[in-house]
Amino acid sequence: MGSLASRSSLVLVVEDEPSLSQVLEAYLRREGFRTERALDGESALRLFYATRPNLVLLDVMLPKLDGFEVLRRIRQAGDTPVIMVTARVDDVDRLVGFRMGTDDYVTKPFNPPEVIERVKAVLRRAQPRDGEKPVVVAGLEIDSRGMQVKALGKRLDLTLSEFRLLELLARHPGRVFSRAELIQACLPESGALERVVDAHLNSVRRKLGAIGATDPLESVRGVGYRLGNGSS
């Protein structure tokens, strides 16, 4: 039987190989998830807008619109968690996906139960955490319960992974975290490369800059990152 979280979660499976998408759907439903399935990029976006799934399993190589373009449009619409699925093993492709806002990556061929565990892990990270007080630091207002970040009174549209990384740094201002520590604390099940942290935090910086906010993120050469006072 699925967890309480999975019973109410809708997963959109976007995969152009019918046999593979059917296998993924079967495993997801066995765990209590609801599913929708799309075989190409255009259908994926139509279903995404119509159903607003809790998570998208998104193949990279798709007819009509590829997975990166689908991801770009999903990110324009909000911060729905996305796990990309690809036959490519090139780190460059993975980094492109992370820079565009994917929350995790799965490489084909894969073990379906492992994919389901990744889905559960990302959804767990996406759940609001009760009992944690909002943080106001370095010009940022971070609401863990509502999973929102504001700067200059404006909301930042962050992905789940971007939010988790920024939240951790904001709760420990001045402390330097290595990339490995950030992955372990915020993306423990993802198997992400350490460079992925750079991609996520560079995206946060771009979003802060886009609204004219001061960037309080500080790179510590050879170590990692810390959140400063925003005055530098």
Residue 231 has pLDDT above 70, yes or no: no
pLDDT tens, position by position, 37-82: 999 999 999 999 999 999 999 999 999 999 999 999 998 888 889 9
Phi, psi of 155, deg, nearest 5: -80, 135
Q: What percent of the chain has pLDDT over 70?
A: 87
pTM over 0.85: no
Token couple for 82:
């996305």
pLDDT at 5: 53
Q: Which domains does the chain have, with CATH numbers?
A: 4-126 (3.40.50.2300), 135-227 (1.10.10.10)
Token couple for 37:
């399935």
pLDDT band of residue 189 (cuts 50, 70, 90) is low
pLDDT tens, position by position, 1-27: 344 455 579 999 999 999 999 999 999
